[in-house]
Amino acid sequence: MSLKICVIGAGSSYTPELIANLVEPTGALDVGQVDLMDPNREKVEGIARVSARLAQEAGVPIRVRPVTNREEAITGADFIILQIRVGGLAARVRDEKIPMGLGMIGNETTGAGGFACALRTVTAALEIARDIERLAPEAVLLNLANPAGIVTEALLNHTRVRTLGFCNIPTNTAYALARFFGAAPETVQLDYIGLNHLGWTRRVFIDGQERLQAAILGTHTREEPLYKSGLVDPLMDPAWLRELGMLPAWYVRYFYFPDLVLAEDQREQRTKGEDDMSAERKLAEIYARDGYNPEAQKILNGKGGAQYYVPVLQAVDSIVHDRGDVIVADVTNGRALPDLPAESCVELPARLWKDRFEPVDAGPLPLKIRGLVQAVKAYEQLTIQAALTGDHGTAIAALMANPLVGSYTKARDFFDCILKNEQDYLPQFYQA
């Protein structure tokens, strides 16, 4: 029997990439229907037209249906992709600009801005999960909504919905390393550890042979291949790279170089969210005129969304065929990282079966990153508590635990901004 996939937040300009991946000749999934759900009728109907055109041109009999009623879209779904952005890009711009005005990193997933985004998204995701529990209790929820680790952990621990989270950073890292070593992407296996947007690649196996450590130890200047390939942030001192002995994911720059990144961001005239607003307008024009073409793909890649659906569809394939493939995902920790709570969500290679998701044992966190990861995990868990309870003190405690906030004054002032701006999305904080 063919699968039904439901996409919640399908008005996103990234959605046609999902259909493009589904209709590739190498695809092994029998998908009969994709419901694209979004409350914005005009937007989702436009995305559906582009997506249906991709399926038609590929000669693949997938029914692509725009839906504005969430319950209708969820009913009968086998897999549900969650990719909501609560408050839209306007909220993202707030998450970027307000912290910078208070002397902190401004980002949609990290630091104070990530906290505001998490409160909004966890609140909405739990409401959606209640519908899934009623209408599609056997479905698997595949979360792409940021901050992906926090949202996934809230769903795993506070709903009955089977949930996996995904980020394209490990996938993009694997593809970049494949290019670097001249290998096919399917031959690359990452030894990846950490949390969503706080991860490190320890080793890289290509056809069973470890290749990364020699490359790191042989790097002494920013003019060498690891830097030139974009695998290492230019802010990273080569001596520190060798001392660390791992490749940090891109978002780690916020924790290693917060002063430099903040100064760099404050010099810019526009935030990433404002750039994305311009990109969205351009994409709408292209989709209406030409559909999902190379120009659109280039813009999406520039936004940082390349290969978002690759690990998602790999996971669906492994679950449907009960293969236990190893895919980097956001999963319940269990005993995989013994330095973190068993119930916490971690980003690790995991074996994905039809009836269970098992992270590969990673052993203790290296001491050089252990304290940072544990601090961020404490912040994440406090943030979920704050979203669940609407308790102001817990919200302040979460911000205080975040290494990118670090002072009560900043935490209090930023939370005051949240109370001023986010009432439409966070009713729990305004109840007597």
In this structure, what token pair is assigned to residue 313?
């569809």
Is 251 a residue of the active site? yes
| Inter-helix orientation angle 367-389/111-135, to 10° | 60
Q: How far apart are the first and last CA of the chain?
A: 50
Q: How far apart are CA 404 and CA 408, in angstroms?
A: 12
Q: How far apart are CA 149 and CA 122, in angstroms?
A: 11
Q: How far apart are CA 365 and CA 73, in angstroms?
A: 41
Q: How far apart are CA 399 and CA 380, in angstroms?
A: 9
Q: Which residues pair with 164 in a beta bridge?
A: 142
Concatenating the DSSP letter of every residue in 89-125 gives HHHHHHHHHHHHHTTS---SSSHHHHHHHHHHHHHHH
Q: Which residue, chain included where needed, has tokens 């001491």? A: 367
Give 157's DSSP letter: H
Q: Which residues pair with 326 in a beta bridge?
A: 351
Q: How far apart are CA 71 and CA 68, in angstroms?
A: 9
Within 268-391, where are the H helices?
272-289, 294-303, 309-320, 367-389
Sign of the Cα pseudo-torsion (212, 215, 216, 217, in order) = positive
Q: How far apart are CA 338 and CA 362, in angstroms?
A: 9
Q: Which residues pair with 248 in a beta bridge?
A: 200
Is residue 254 within 8 A of residue 88, CB to CB? The reply is no
Q: Which of 251, 308, 309, 379 is an active site residue?
A: 251
Report in angstroms the alpha-carbon separations of 355 from 5, 95, 277, 323, 419.
18, 38, 40, 11, 41
Is residue 340 within 8 A of residue 333, CB to CB? The reply is yes
Q: Which residue, chain included where needed, has tokens 């909504």? A: 145
Q: How far apart are CA 220 and CA 400, in angstroms?
A: 37
What residues have CB less than 8 Å from 298, skipping those under 6 apart?
Answer: none
Residue positions annotated with a catalytic role: 251
